[in-house]
Amino acid sequence: MVSPGEHDEDEADGLRKIIHVDMDAFFASVEQRDDPEIRGKPVAVGGSSGRGVVAAASYEARIFGVRSAMPSSRAVRLCPDLIFRKARFDVYRAVSQQIRAIFLDYTPHVEPLSLDEAYLDVTEDRKGLGSATRIAEQIRERIKADTGLTASAGVSYNKFLAKLASDQNKPDGLCVIRPGQGAAFVASLPVRRFHGVGPRGAEKMARLGIETGADLAAKDLAFLRAHFGSFAEYLFRAARGVDLRQVRADRPRKSVGGERTFAENIEGAGPLRETLDAIIETVWERIERASTRGRTVTLKLRYADFTTLTRARSVHHWVADKAEFAALGHALLAELLPLPQPIRLMGLTLSALEQDEKTVKAKAEKDGQLSLL
């Protein structure tokens, strides 16, 4: 996110029609779909051992306070009847590909964020449905018909607002924020709803007298920089409902990664390693989808006091496969254990990238261009 007044080559031109689609409790819902005996019951995907971590929780489990990235032992205390299922990422990836095929039927401008969510730019109405809202409704209907799963969608004129909207009426909901409504919508929201803030960030903001979007908008950029560093520019724009980023299906990549902000801070070697395993699965799927390869793995940790630590390791060859990627990530984590305090965020990234040569050549031939590799 660039500072106000700066130009970003990835900024969108003109008013856009953006949809954010987010599957409802995706991993857990797939498990319930495939096993009728656990439908309507509290389900968690992840390790059930004392050191296990919840990777996903059904809505029935969330009623009891069970959340992703929560230690399994705590989840069981909150919900004694919780049913655990081991993650089946091959199945989740297959379903995700079904969903992505539906998206691509409506627009080529699809930016996946993970297996279960994506941005779509439907400014160009290729099916002539008349509105982004109708497109979102039809996509949700098709997902339900083709996969047996529900999705929530947000429709707006930028990515930040569309993502907020998709969370507004979950599960199986639709929310539309029309042009001119963004600032007012954001003003009424608690800041914990802002992507990237999370519960601990909201607590820090509350100590500074910031509880809603309106409170945040009342603070100038100098104040935000003093208290939130590089995160300030994002907060400044978000509080005003502003986001100029494009939906980019073929964004030139400098890195591929993923991170998770936790509802509750986590610590202890076991929960940290299981959380890293879940992130590795997500990130490697993105790496495979991007048909890319790289030489540098970077681990990112954000402590409870908002201090951020990164550690990287490079190899002289392309990281060969998921096993090597995982080994490098776990080696970086092992070097930091035991941690001096709990963490609120963990991330893992592959960088020093080069696209797979066959993919580059195929794309060049499709575009009618000669690529010199």
Active site residues: 117
Residue 121 labeled ligand binder: no
| CA-closest candidate to residue 299, choices 352, 347, 353 | 347
Mapped onto helix, strand or coil, the DSSP state of residue 294 is coil
Q: Taking the alpha carbons of 362, 364, 365, 371 in that order, is the dihedral positive or negative? A: negative
φ, ψ of residue 265 to 5 degrees: the values are -60, 145
- Burial class for 86, CB neighbours closer than 10 Å (0-12, 13-18, 19+): exposed
- Tell me how far apart the alpha carbons of residues 289 and 235 are, in angstroms, rounded to a whole number: 30
How many angstroms separate the Cα of 170 from the Cα of each of 17, 23, 36, 160, 344? Answer: 21, 9, 22, 17, 24
Mapped onto helix, strand or coil, the DSSP state of residue 23 is strand
- Tell me how far apart the alpha carbons of residues 288 and 17 are, in angstroms, rounded to a whole number: 29
Tell me the two tokens of residue 128: 């002539």
Residue 22 labeled ligand binder: yes
- Tell me how far apart the alpha carbons of residues 8 and 14 are, in angstroms, rounded to a whole number: 14
Which residues line the annotated binding site?
22, 116
Which residues line the annotated binding site for Mg(2+)?
22, 116
